[in-house]
Structure 1
Amino acid sequence: MEFCVDQLIQPAKNSENEMMKSFVLSLIVTFVVGGVHAEEMDAMWGESTVKLRAENAERGELFDEGNYAMFIHWGLYSQLGNRVAGQTYYGIGEWIMDPKMAGIPVDEYKQLAGTFSPTDFDADAIVKLAKDAGMKYIVITAKHHDGFAMYDSAACDFNIVDATPWKVDPMKELSAACREAGLGFGFYYSHSQDWTFPGGRKGPENDEHGKPATFEDYFTKKCVPQVEELTTQYGPIELIWFDTPGGMKQEYVQQLVDIVRKNQPRALVSGRAGHNLGDYQTLGDMEVPHHNVEGMWESVDTTNDSWAYAWYDENWKAPKEVLRRLIACVGRGGTYMLNIGPDGTGAVPERAARSLRAAGDWIHRYPQVVYGTDASPWGHAMPWGDVTVKENRLFLSIFDWPESGKLYLPGLNTRVLDAYLLREETAEPITHNTTAGWTVLDLPSRAPEQMVSVIELQLDGDPEVDSTFGIDPNSGTEILAEFSTAMGAKIVKHRWMEKFGEWVCEYPACQWTPDGKVVWEVDVMEPGDYDVSLTYAGEGRLVWSVDVVGGEHIQNQQNASHNYQEFPIGWINFSEPGKYKVAVSCLEGNTQSAQLRSIRLAPVR
C-alpha cells in the first residue's frame, strides 16, 4: 500500500548559493504500509533530530571528513536468517521476532541462544574488509530491539557470553582489531525498544515474579548499565548510534547522552537519540537525498535489501551502484554508512564482500573524490554523474561516459584554469572551452575507468555556479519535482515499503487543483526539438500538459502506474539557446491520485 504526506516542502534561500533551493522535508505520514504506520516509524527514528557541525574539531572528525563507514547488523536473529519453522518471512531480518514478521514468543526466542555458536566470526577479516572497501569506521549492533546483548554484559544474562555455547565477546575482538588497523569503532544500541526485558518498549509487561514492569525498570536495570559498559570497557569509541527513541522522555535520553559525554568525550551521538540531543541528522533508512542537505548528516543504507542476514536475499548492490550512492551522499554534503549482515556463523556473505572490495579499489585510486570533500555547489547531481569539491578544485565523477566525446557542465561561473582526466596517479590534460555559460570538455572516445571516470577542474577561485538545471545535449536531463516551484499543487514526502522494512522514498508533486502546475527553469544550450516524458504514479488514465512558458503547449493521455513509471508525452521546441520556464499540469482523470516524480527532456536525434 502506498501513501502520501499532506505537507508542503517550502523552498528557502541557501546561504552558500543564492540560486540553490533547500527544503524543509515533512515527515508526517498518514497511511499504513506493510503493517507499520510510517508516522510511527518517524517517531521511532527521531528523524527531526539535527545539529550542525561538532564544536570540537577532533570530535566527529572521521564522520565529517571520512564520509564512508561500515554498519553491521548481526545478532541472534542472524541464526534464523528469516526462516522460522520452515517458513520464510520476507523483510528485514532483525525484526523477525516482531508480530509483523514471525511473531516469535519471548521464551521461544531466548532458547535460540542455546544453539548460537558463530565460530566463523573473524574480527580481523571484517576490519580488513572495511579497510579494503575504503571505510573509515565501523558501527555494530551491541543490542538491537530483541534485547540480546552481543557482548559480555553484567546487566543481563541474555548475552552472547552467558547464554550461548560460544562464550566469546566478539565486541572486544572487533574493537581491538579496529584500533590495530587505525579504524574508528562504535556501537549501535536500541535504547528504547527491548522486546525481551520487562518494561522495555514492546517488551514483557510483567517481571519474572509476575509484577507489572515499567519503562523505568528497564531503563535503570538494563539500559543505563549497558550504556555504561559499552562506553567504558571497549576503548575509544567514535560513535554511539542510538535508535528508535519512540516516546522516550527527554530526561532519559539526556541521561544516556551525559553518560556518553562523560565516558567518551570524543564520541558522537547519533541523530536518532531523540529530542534533538544527537550531534547530527540521520536520514530515513535507505534514503539518499537528491538535494544538498545543510549541516552534518548521514545516510544509512544496506548492501542488499535486509539489514540483518536473510537466507534468500541475493539482491546485492553492484560496485558501481555502491559508488553512485556514496558519491551522491558526499556530493550532497553528507556521510554514507553502508551495512553488511553476517550470517548465523558470523561469516560475511561473499558477494557483499566482493562488491565492497571492488568499489574500494576505485576509492583507493581516487581518494580525493570522497575524503575531506565538500558538497557540490550545484546542489544536485548531473545527468552524467556528480560533483564533489575541495577548495578550488572540482571532481567530476562520470558514471555515464558520453559517446559524443564532449562533456557538458552548465552554469559554472568561475574560470577554469586547467582540466585533467585522472588515471590513477596520472593526470592527462584535456581541452575545454566556455560557450553560453556552459563549460564543454573534450574527452577521448573511451572511458579510462570501467565504473566511474574522474575529471579534475582547477578553478581561479572558489566555485560559483548558477544551479539552474541544464538540458544536457548528449542524453537530456531528468529533473525531479522537488526542484520545481509548485502552484496549486504540493511537493510531498511519499514513502512506502516494497517489503517489510525496505523503504522507498520520493518527493512528488500531488494534490493538484484545477489550475495547479509545477514550474522549472531550465537552461538550453542547443535549440531544437526535445522529447518530453513524465514519471508519475496514480490511478487510471491521466491527461498531462507540458508548456514552454511563452512557447509551445502539448498534452497527452497516458495510463498511470502505482510505483512511478515513465510515460512519453510528446515533443516541444526550444527555438534558441537560453533559459526557459517549463510548466506541467494534470488536467483530467483522477487528478487527486496523480503524483508527478519528474520530467525528462531529451534532444530528438
Structure 2
Amino acid sequence: MKCIYFFLILTPAWLLCAVAHGNSSEVSRPSNDVRLDPYVNETKAEKDARMAWWREARFGMFIHWGVYAVPAGVYRGEQIRGIGEWIMSTRIPVDEYKSYANEFNPVHYDPQAWAALAKEAGMRYMVITAKHHDGFSLYPSEVTDWDIVDASPYGKDLIGPLADAAREEGLKFGLYFSQAQDWVHPGGIKRRGVWDEAQRGDVDAYFDEIAVPQAKEILTRYQPDVLWWDTPETTTRAQADKLAATISSVPGIITNNRLGPGYEGDTETPEQFVPPTGFKDRDFEVCMTMNGTWGYKSWDHNWKSTTDIIHKLCDIASKGGNFLLNIGPRADGTIPEASVERLKEVGAWMKTNGEAIYGTAASPFGRFLWGRSTVSIEDEGATVYLHVFDWPKNGKIEVLGFGSKPDSVRLMSDGQPLSYTLWNESEGKGLTLKLPEHAPDAHASVIKLIVNGKIDFEKIRPRQMADGSLTLEPNRAYLHSNSKNALKVEVKQGKECIGNWLADKSWIYWDFRITQPRTFTLSTEAATAGDVAFTYQLKDGKRTVEAKPTDDKHKIYVAEEFATLDGHDTVEVSIPSTGSKETFVKVELGEMKIAEPGVYVLEVRPVKEHWDRTRLAAIKLSPVNQ
C-alpha cells in the first residue's frame, strides 16, 4: 500500500458518505452447502417461473403489529427512543411486558379494509408479522399460550382473516417470522443480553420446542406465498437446518436471506435505505417505514411525504427491486391516518403510472440527475419509462445513452406526444426531449418511449473532455452507507460534495469511461474536523468478482466488488484536520497512469479508526501535461 502525506492549503471544497442496515443491498453470501434448501437444484427457468409474480408486483405492504402497540413507544410515562416494536428490549421485565397483552384488543380490526387499502395503494402483496421479537403470536399457537387467543381479550386469530382478505383482493400473502430472537420464551436469543431470569433457557430447546413447531404451524396453516425470516443473530447451521426443513411444506414459497448460516434464500433485504445499485444475479426488496418506526409509536410524527415515497418506489424499480412499505397499526386495530392518507395518494399516482413500475426491469442507463427510468424489454424493441422528479425550467431534458430512434414519445398522464432530437457526438449519444412548461404531476411525471426493432442503450458514465480531463462529480458517485448514517450529496460553501460521512464503513465509487489514455494527476477538496485517512484504488469497471462478506452479520450488505488491475494498488491519503467540517482544503492525491481505453472504477474508502466526520468534493483527473 502506498501512502501520501501532504500539507494543506486552505481553500473551499466538499464532502462524502455511505453503508447499510438490516440485511442489505448485496448481502453476505453463505456457503454453498444448502442441503435442506428445497430449491438447491432449481434451474434458472424454474426459478424465473417461481419468482415471476414477485418480480411483476414490485410494490408490497409490510405490517408490524403486536403487543408493542399498547405502550406505543411510552414506558412509565417516558417516551422511549428507538423503534416501537423493540420497546421491551429496553429491559422491561417479562411479566410486566406480558401484562400489556391485557390491553391488546383490536376490536376495530378490519382485514377486508386493510387488504382493500393495500390494493388501492397499488400494492400487489402483503406481509404481516406472525411473531416479532417479543415472541407474541398473532395466531393461536399450539406450543405456547403467549398468543392472541390465550393472552389477549380479543381471543381470535388475526392472521387467517387477513390471509383470506388479501387473496380475495387478488393479492399475494406473506408472513414475517422472528425465528431466533425471542425476549419472552426461555432460550430465545436476546441481542441485548438477558435482563430477566425468566428469559434464561436452553437455545436448542427453544428451537426444538418453539421456533421450529411455530414455523410449521404458520406454513401449514396459512400457506403463505412469502416467508420473511428475521434476525438470525447467533443461529447455528444445525438450528437453521431444522427451520429450513419446514419450507418445503409450501411449494413455490419465496424466502429471504435472513434465515441463518448456509441459506441465502431468494431475496436480498436492504432495510431502511435504497442501495446505490441493484444486486448482480439476485432479487432484492427494500423494506422501509413511513415514519421512524415499524411498530406503532404514538409520538412519532416524522412522516415521509407522499412525493418521497413515490420517488423511492421509482428509484427502487429503476434498480430492479421491490419496495415493501410498512404500516404500524394501533392496538385497537386502526391504521394511523397519516399512513392511510399517503397510501391513497400513492395509489392515485399508481393508477396513472403503475405501468412504469409493474414488471419493469432495471434502467439500462443508470441514474439521471433529473429522475429515474425503468424499462420493459420485448422480443423486438423496448418500452422505456422516464420518471421525471425535477421538471426542467428550460423545457428540455437530456436522456443520455439513448441511441435508438423512438417510434412514440408521450406523457403517461394524458398521452400528449412530445417532440425530440437524437444526437450522437464524441462525448456520447442521447435524446433531447421538449417538454410542456409545467409538470403534469406534482410528485413524478412519467414519459413513455416505445422503440420498435433494434435497441441502442448505453449506461451513463462520466467521460473525458476534449482536453482529456475528467471530473468525478459527487452526484455521479455510488454511495454505500447505512440508514442511520446515510451518505448524501449536499452543497456546502458553494461546493457540491459528499456529506454526512460519519461511519468508517461507508464508502463510494465512480465508474467512468476513458477514451484518451493518459497519466493523470488526481486532486480533490475536503473538509474534516479531525485527522482522517482514506484510500483510493482504480479497478476494472467491466469485471466483477465475488464480494467478500463483512464482519457485521446481517446488518451490513456486501456491495458489488470490482476486479483489481495490475499496477494499481491501494493508495492511502492522510488529511490533517482542516479546522472544521465547513472548511475545505485542496488535496493532491498523486498520479495515476491509465494505459488503455475502457470502463474503470475509482473506489474511495475510509481507513478504519482513522476517520472523523468528513466532506469530499469532486475528484478531478487532469492530464499531466496540463
TM over 0.5: yes
Distance of 1:404 and 1:258 partners within structure 2 = 60
Question: Which residue is 1:103 aligned to?
Answer: 91
The counterpart of 2:419, out of the listed 407, 430, 445, is: 430
Please state how far the C-alpha of 1:420 moved relative to its aligned partner: 1.8
Q: Which residue identity does 2:333 align to in structure 1?
A: G
Please state how far the C-alpha of 1:158 moved relative to its aligned partner: 0.3
1:337 matched to 2:324: yes
Question: Which residue is 2:309 aligned to?
Answer: 322
Distance of 2:162 and 2:412 partners within structure 1 = 36
Distance of 1:66 and 1:282 partners within structure 2 = 16
Question: Which residue is 1:385 aligned to?
Answer: 371
Distance of 2:164 and 2:145 partners within structure 1 = 24
When residues 560 and 55 of structure 1 are mapped into structure 2, their CA distance, relative to the original with a 3 A threshold, is farther
The counterpart of 2:442, out of the listed 440, 450, 466, is: 450
1:421 matched to 2:440: no
Deviations 1:473-494 (CA, angstroms, capped at 9, x unpaired): xxx99635754xxxxxxx9x54
Distance of 2:356 and 2:23 partners within structure 1 = 33
Distance of 1:177 and 1:397 partners within structure 2 = 33
TM-score (norm 2): 0.71
Q: Determine if contact 2:93/2:196 at 8 Å carries over to the other structure.
A: no
Question: Which residue is 2:345 aligned to?
Answer: 358
Q: Which residue identity does 1:72 align to in structure 2?
A: I
Could you list the runs of 5+ residues in structure 1 that have no partner in the other structure? 1-24, 28-37, 484-490, 498-502, 512-516, 524-531, 545-556, 570-578
Distance of 1:316 and 1:156 partners within structure 2 = 36
Aligned residue for 1:432, secondary structure, equals: strand
The counterpart of 1:287, out of the listed 252, 273, 277, is: 273
Distance of 1:375 and 1:277 partners within structure 2 = 26
Distance of 1:156 and 1:84 partners within structure 2 = 26
Q: Determine if contact 1:383/1:477 at 8 Å carries over to the other structure.
A: no
Query: Percent of aligned positions with the same letter in both sequences?
Result: 30
Please state how far the C-alpha of 1:356 moved relative to its aligned partner: 1.4
Aligned residue for 1:388, secondary structure, equals: strand
Q: Determine if contact 2:67/2:331 at 8 Å carries over to the other structure.
A: yes
Q: Determine if contact 1:542/1:558 at 8 Å carries over to the other structure.
A: no
Aligned residue for 1:378, secondary structure, equals: coil
Q: Determine if contact 1:237/1:266 at 8 Å carries over to the other structure.
A: no
Please state how far the C-alpha of 1:185 moved relative to its aligned partner: 0.6
The counterpart of 1:92, out of the listed 75, 83, 96, is: 83
Distance of 1:469 and 1:257 partners within structure 2 = 45
Q: Which residue identity does 2:340 align to in structure 1?
A: A
Q: Determine if contact 2:19/2:483 at 8 Å carries over to the other structure.
A: no
Distance of 1:170 and 1:147 partners within structure 2 = 15
The counterpart of 1:259, out of the listed 246, 254, 260, is: 246
Please state how far the C-alpha of 1:214 moved relative to its aligned partner: 1.1
Please state how far the C-alpha of 1:61 moved relative to its aligned partner: 2.6
When residues 494 and 361 of structure 1 are mapped into structure 2, their CA distance, relative to the original with a 3 A threshold, is closer
Question: Which residue is 1:196 aligned to?
Answer: 184
Distance of 1:358 and 1:464 partners within structure 2 = 33
When residues 336 and 600 of structure 1 are mapped into structure 2, their CA distance, relative to the original with a 3 A threshold, is farther
Q: Determine if contact 1:193/1:202 at 8 Å carries over to the other structure.
A: yes
Question: Which residue is 2:167 aligned to?
Answer: 179
Question: Which residue is 1:64 aligned to?
Answer: 55
Question: Which residue is 1:13 aligned to?
Answer: none
Distance of 1:320 and 1:478 partners within structure 2 = 26
**More displaced, 428-437 or 444-453?**
428-437
Please state how far the C-alpha of 1:538 moved relative to its aligned partner: 3.4
Question: Which residue is 1:141 aligned to?
Answer: 129
Matches within 5 A, 1:573-592: 592=611
When residues 339 and 212 of structure 1 are mapped into structure 2, their CA distance, relative to the original with a 3 A threshold, is closer
Question: Which residue is 1:302 aligned to?
Answer: 289
TM-score (norm 1): 0.73
How many correspondences in the alignment?
502
Question: Which residue is 2:12 aligned to?
Answer: none
Q: Which residue identity does 1:332 align to in structure 2?
A: K
Please state how far the C-alpha of 1:211 moved relative to its aligned partner: 11
Deviations 1:68-125 (CA, angstroms, capped at 9, x unpaired): 1110111100111110110001210111011xxx320111111111221111221111
Question: Which residue is 2:215 aligned to?
Answer: 227
Please state how far the C-alpha of 1:393 moved relative to its aligned partner: 1.4
Aligned residue for 2:205, secondary structure, equals: helix
Q: Determine if contact 1:122/1:346 at 8 Å carries over to the other structure.
A: yes
When residues 360 and 539 of structure 1 are mapped into structure 2, their CA distance, relative to the original with a 3 A threshold, is same
Instruction: Pick 1 or 2: higher relative contact order, CA cutoff 8 A, min separation 6.
Output: 2
When residues 242 and 85 of structure 1 are mapped into structure 2, their CA distance, relative to the original with a 3 A threshold, is same
Q: Determine if contact 1:282/1:297 at 8 Å carries over to the other structure.
A: yes
Please state how far the C-alpha of 1:280 moved relative to its aligned partner: 2.6
Q: Determine if contact 2:131/2:137 at 8 Å carries over to the other structure.
A: yes
Aligned residue for 2:150, secondary structure, equals: coil
Q: Determine if contact 1:421/1:430 at 8 Å carries over to the other structure.
A: no
The counterpart of 1:270, out of the listed 253, 256, 267, is: 256
Q: Which residue identity does 2:61 align to in structure 1?
A: M
Q: Determine if contact 1:206/1:213 at 8 Å carries over to the other structure.
A: no
Deviations 1:195-235 (CA, angstroms, capped at 9, x unpaired): 11111112997999x8973111111111111111101112x
When residues 598 and 290 of structure 1 are mapped into structure 2, their CA distance, relative to the original with a 3 A threshold, is farther
Q: Which residue identity does 1:296 align to in structure 2?
A: D
1:163 matched to 2:154: no
Distance of 1:265 and 1:494 partners within structure 2 = 36
Q: Which residue identity does 1:155 align to in structure 2?
A: V
When residues 206 and 342 of structure 1 are mapped into structure 2, their CA distance, relative to the original with a 3 A threshold, is closer
Question: Which residue is 1:240 aligned to?
Answer: 227
Q: Which residue identity does 1:291 align to in structure 2?
A: T
Q: Which residue identity does 1:431 align to in structure 2?
A: Y
Matches within 5 A, 1:43-54: 48=29
When residues 251 and 228 of structure 1 are mapped into structure 2, their CA distance, relative to the original with a 3 A threshold, is same
Aligned residue for 2:295, secondary structure, equals: coil
Question: Which residue is 2:461 aligned to?
Answer: 468
When residues 469 and 307 of structure 1 are mapped into structure 2, their CA distance, relative to the original with a 3 A threshold, is farther
Question: Which residue is 2:612 aligned to?
Answer: 593
**More displaced, 182-191 or 108-117?**
108-117
Aligned residue for 1:366, secondary structure, equals: helix
The counterpart of 1:479, out of the listed 474, 477, 499, is: 474
Please state how far the C-alpha of 1:453 moved relative to its aligned partner: 0.9
Please state how far the C-alpha of 1:48 moved relative to its aligned partner: 4.2
Q: Determine if contact 1:81/1:93 at 8 Å carries over to the other structure.
A: yes
When residues 351 and 89 of structure 1 are mapped into structure 2, their CA distance, relative to the original with a 3 A threshold, is same
Distance of 2:619 and 2:336 partners within structure 1 = 38
When residues 282 and 518 of structure 1 are mapped into structure 2, their CA distance, relative to the original with a 3 A threshold, is closer
The counterpart of 1:80, out of the listed 67, 71, 86, is: 71
Q: Determine if contact 2:219/2:247 at 8 Å carries over to the other structure.
A: yes
Please state how far the C-alpha of 1:249 moved relative to its aligned partner: 1.5
When residues 57 and 107 of structure 1 are mapped into structure 2, their CA distance, relative to the original with a 3 A threshold, is same
Please state how far the C-alpha of 1:432 moved relative to its aligned partner: 2.9
